[in-house]
Each structure stands twice: as structure tokens, then as C-alpha cells.
Amino acid sequence: MIGTLTADSAIHVRDVSRDFQAGQETIRVLHDINLDIRSGQLTYLVGESGSGKTTLISIIAGILWPTEGEIHVFEQNIYDLTDTQLVGFRLANIGFIFQQYNLIPTIDAAANAAVPLLARGMKLKEAREQAREMLDRLNIADQADKLPSQLSGGQQQRVAIARALVHEPRLVVCDEPTAALDARSGRRVMDLLREVAVAEGRSVIIVTHDNRIFDLADRILVLEDGRITHDGTTMPQEG
């Protein structure tokens, strides 16, 4: 079994499997995954399409139920929670960065970044103020009043990062955060994530197959056919 098991981990994944139904056929996309992830670590989930990395990150983030196994996030078995409790847990503890950013196109950058705070019930003015501070930390405070369509891809990704961090979650999950960016913008986004997210003791898990940023990882987990086949600080050597 590959995967480091430690007692002081922020995330414990134990014997997790996940099946999908394809017509009459049941397909197992994750096989008995065991994994621990510490705080303050930038962890990459790497693998080919269909290897199960998106399924695994979705299960860790509490948005997809495992077929078998247990997930403890910050000592909470998240799939023991009710639906409503799980939604609340996500809002309190997890920040999301999506490949396509998924910003709301009709509200400005500050409002987009403020969404988790608004979801918590914070007043709009206060939430926008807090979001502006986060945008400032990401060096795009001057773009706060612009709509997503008026921003470049890199700027939109930074707004998405601000949205993921504004409510100070302990875990940040990212799906291909550099896929839609050029090499330079991609590296800058990753530098920012390391600087703003990882440095503050958060766990950051990134699903990627962007080999331009592999050198920035603290830990790389390679998935093949639903199994972790490599766990190290660098990518395995070919052959």
C-alpha cells in the first residue's frame, strides 16, 4: 500500500472506494485509497484523465459520497454529517478553486470574492470590504470593481483564489488551477497560492497534470486507474 499514514494529519482517507454506475455496469474508479495530508503542505494529485483524481478530490472536499471508507477532515468524519451539516462544514473549512473559475459573470470581482462571506450571512458592505483586503493581498485590488469579463484569465483566477481564501478555510482544493493559463501566469498563480494559502498553515490539494508546475509541490501523489501509484516530493522517473 502506497501512502503516508501519520497521526498528525489534517486529512485522513481510509479505505476509500467509489463506484459509478454506467448503465447496468458498475465501474470502480477508486480502489481502497489510504492517504494522510498534513497542514501547511501543497499536495498535488496527478494522473491521466479517468485516473480518479477528480473523484478523490471531490470526496475529500465533501461534495461526493464515497461508496466505501471514511474521510476525516480536521478530525471530523465528514460523511457522518447530515447534508445540511456537511454544507455548513464546507462553508466553514474548505475553499474551492475551479478550473473554469466559475465566477458569477454579472457581479464585480469584489462581490465574487465575497460570496462565501455572504453565504455565511455577512452584510454586503462588510463582506465586500473583507474581500477587497483579500484581493489586495493577491495584488488585484485595483480590479475589484470590474466584472469577470473585463479581467484577464490570470486575474480571474486570482479572484477565484480570493473567493477560496476570504473566509479563511483550513483546506483549499483546486481543480487544474493553471490549465487555462499560460506558463508565466500559471507559475504566478501557484506562487500566490503557496504564499497566501500554504504559508498560513492550510492544507492545499491541487488536481493537475500541468508538468510546468510540478517543481512547486511539497508532495506529489500519482493516481493510475483509481490507485495511488506514487507518493513523493517529485514525479517518478520515466521507465
Partner 1 sequence: MNWIAIRMLTGDRQKFLGLVFGIAFSTLLICQQMTILVNLVQRGANAVYNEYTADVWVMDNVTRTPEVNYAMPATALDAVRSVPGVEWAVPHLRSAASVRSSEGNLEGVAIVGVDDTTLIGLPHTMLIGDADSLAKPDAVIIDDVGAGKMFGEGVNPVGERLELNDRRAIIRGVVDATPTFTSQVFLYTRYSRALTYVPGTRNRMSFVLARAAPGVTPDELAARINEQTEWKARTRDEFAQDGIDFVIENTGIPYNFGITVMLGFIVGVAIVGLTFNLFIRDNIKQFGALKAIGVTNRKIAGMVATQAALVGSVGYAFGILGSVLFIYWFEQAGPNFKGFYSPWQIPIICVIPVIIILGLSGWLGLRSVMNTEPAEVFR
User: Which CB, 6 or 149, lies closer to partner 1?
Assistant: 149
Q: Least distance from C-beta 187 to partner 1, angstroms?
A: 23
Q: Which is nearer to partner 1, 1 or 22 (CB)?
A: 22
Q: CB 90 → partner 1: shortest distance, Å?
A: 4
Residue closer to partner 1 (CB basis): 67 or 99: 99
Nearest distance, CB of residue 222 and partner 1, angstroms: 19
Query: What is the contact surface with partner 1 in residues (CB under 8 A)?
Result: 54, 57-58, 61, 63-64, 84, 87-92, 94, 96, 98-100, 102-107, 111, 115-116, 118-119, 124, 163, 175, 207
Nearer to partner 1, 2 or 87 (CB): 87
Give least dist CB 234 to partner 1, A: 25
Contact between residue 135 and residue 110 where contact means Cβ atoms under 8 Å apart: yes
